[in-house]
Chains A and B, each alone.
Chain A
Amino acid sequence: MVLDRLVPEETGPSCRAPVVLSKDFPRKLFLTGAWLTIYQDGKPLAPAQVEKVLGGASLGLVYPQRHQELLKLSQPVEPNLFVFCPGAMATRLPEGYGVPVQSNESLQLTVQWMNLDPYLPPSSLEAEVTVQVSDLASLRSLRCQQAAALTLVEGRRGYWGVSRPDPRIHGGECLHSPPFPGQSPMRDALGQQFQSKWYTPKGSQENPCLITAQLPLPARLVAIQPYFRSGLAALELKDLTQNQLLWQANSGKGLAAPCDLFVGHEYQLRTVYKNPDPVPRAALAMLMLYLEAP
């Protein structure tokens, strides 16, 4: 991709490239990690520079339904396997775990670019994904599940699918925001409309979002990879029922140990963005959860 003009967040061009895991006879493999490197004119970029050009990236399945058939999975699967954003460019799953794939499956890397630097000279950008694989049959299978922070676009209360929310049980309600341009809203069973992107005004803004409905409970949470935009001040996953902080972004470490997610518990994704500029900034927060069936 050649960037030669200002490209705001969320509107940048995106590129897709196929990723071939193996050219040998198909066999079951486990993906145990992946990391993304960005090159500008052939040289790797420092993290501070990556923030200026990379919107986000993901490594995913081209045909999720086919993946389900090949691995004989009973539940539908998420297309994305790994997500990358400035500040979270690598995922390494804990030892002994992996995401199973068939070695000949069609995978693709999707990268969205941006350019917030008006002085950036026209430059050629490349993204390279490195995938760590293992064919050890003893590895334990993980499934990927996305859980995103939402904002209420249309409706009464910012709780997805909860008809009688109780702040003591369900926590605070999510942000109310105007429709985000270019994104189609999601509708819950009560007819309320939500979106996963919003604009943060100048200053600090918190978005506590109930994500219980997005989780396939019960499950054992083994690893988390966050996906966010610049300006993130806090990102936390909480078990509201037990009033326990399960995970926190930028805390310097991932999950201390696999933890169980229970049926009947309520889970909240709390996001805090800080915007020093007077111009509103696009925001989103998503967790790629790596779950093991209990």
Chain B
Amino acid sequence: MKRWLRAAFTLDLRSLAAARIGAGLVMMGDALVRAREFRLFHTELGILPRLGQFEMNPDLGFPNLHNLSDLPEYQGLLLLLHAFLGLLLALGFRTRWTTVLCWYSQHCLMTSNFLVNNGGDAVLCCHLFWAMFLPWGTYASLDSLAAPKDVPRPTSIFSAGSVALVSQVLLLYWVSVWHKMEPTWLSGNAVYYALQSDLYSRPTRSLLLPHRSLLTALTYLTLVWEVVGTLLLIAPWPRLRWLGLLPYSFMHLNFGYFLRLGIFAFSPQLNFLALIPSTAWSRWPDFPRLRRWGQRLNQRFSPGPLWSGRLSLEVSAAIGSLVLYSYMQGIGNKNLRNYNNPLIPDSLDWVANWTGLNQRWAVFVNLPGLMDGWVLVEGRLSDGSVVDLFQERDPFSWAKPVEVSEKHTHFRWPTPLVVISGDPQLPGWFLQSLVWNWNDAHPQRKVVSARFFLMQEPTRADYQDSPPTTTLVREWHAP
């Protein structure tokens, strides 16, 4: 049993290197994609300005560099720095400290505008946090290229850090199943509702939607797989582990194929990369030219010796406590309407806020209760024409945009739209930011007044049609 447990929680360092490179690339890609809606998501002219952030989330207290200023230049610099840190992480330059900075940057980015967060961001943040306690720069890194060739390097690690990272993977799926113990999933309807959700579903849903029994089977298969398949992920036998890794990876890619989830299709893959069994790396290539180039580069920056990954007893105990905290947080947060976790006292909420270990893996639960529909922002312009300020449809049209999710300029829009439409304060900032955005792009056709409409088209059981209802959320008039 002891051997089995040790094998289950041991990570191959070459697999960790693959995960590190993946994490760096995901960070860079994310920064690039965020730049597309940079103004609306990250600046003072956006949907949640800095003052609004303080007002909406006053208890956070996390020392966030993003909150020092929301000037576009400053926020742009931080986003650029985020991408650069991702590059350094992928290259494995001074990996240990780079990892710390990457985690901090990721956590800062997430807390700077909580409206636009996606489950994939949280997965990445947790992954980076635990990776701070792992020597994932031992292979395929600039650090490793600088190390003397004759010094033997370990190929695997078993430590509090590896236990924590593997536990995080288990926690992600088991807590997710725990949250899924609700009528939509238990009745086999969850995939049906998820694919019917206009805010997320992609046109490819038409491949699955007509097959009702397949949707029911996929719902139950997901539930069973997230329990049983997760055990396969930590199987000590390589072939069995592959049987867990490949379907899991396929499952997340499929999520991304049928639903517009952005980073959520990719960041969980980092966990699977880290869990690749050692047998996959039986032939670890040596690139002499690359090594020489790395050594030359390292002579200039003197990275220092490779970190062995050894942790002191105190640090290991602290990691163990955080793993326990994470489980209690994941299990105790089941009641989505009540943020009070019965398993953790309020006085310890700061731990999750400061570490980014938010383990609320309620992915696609209570789907019939979620907002389903689309948003229209009717803007009346100075030249008398009417346009849609959100979809940028000129002229304005009441017709349903098809497909709704694909018409959003960013995969991150659904979450803010759901939150904004249900909040008394946020619609004002949302409208104002869209007006500024339009006026800057079209100085000859300024917005005179704007109206924010919520078109709700809730999904009904058994494919029954539900005509959309129109709700006027907020109006804006030029001063």
Contact = CB atoms under 8 A, between A and B. Distances in A.
Interface in B204-250: 209-212
A26 B462 CA distance: 9
A92 B391 CA distance: 47
A81 to B, nearest CB: 15
Interface residues of A, number: 15
B465 interface: yes
B62 interface: no
Contacts of B209: 25
A102 B212 CA distance: 17
Contacts of B210: 25
Contacts of B350: none
A63 B463 contact: no
B463 A25 contact: yes
A26 B464 CA distance: 8
B465 A24 contact: no
10 contacts: A23-B462, A23-B464, A25-B209, A25-B463, A66-B465, A66-B467, A104-B463, A106-B465, A106-B466, A106-B467
B467 A63 contact: yes
A105 B462 contact: no
Interface in B352-393: none
A25 B212 contact: yes
Interface of A: 20, 22-26, 63, 65-66, 70, 102-106
Contacts of B467: 63, 65-66, 106
A66 to B, nearest CB: 4
A65 B398 CA distance: 14
B188 to A, nearest CB: 14
A24 B463 contact: yes
Contacts of B212: 23-25
Nearest to A105: B465
A24 B212 CA distance: 7
A24 B465 CA distance: 12
A76 to B, nearest CB: 15
Interface in B427-479: 462-467
Q: Which of B209, B463, B466 has the most CB atoms of chain A within a 10 A radius of its CB?
A: B463
Nearest to B209: A25
A20 B462 CA distance: 10
Contact of B465 (A23, A26, A65): A26
A24 B463 CA distance: 7
B465 A102 contact: yes
Nearest to A18: B464
Contacts of B466: 106
A25 B467 CA distance: 17
Contacts of A103: 463
Contacts of B465: 26, 63, 66, 70, 102, 104-106
Nearest to A25: B210
Contacts of A106: 464-467
A105 B462 CA distance: 11
A65 B465 CA distance: 13
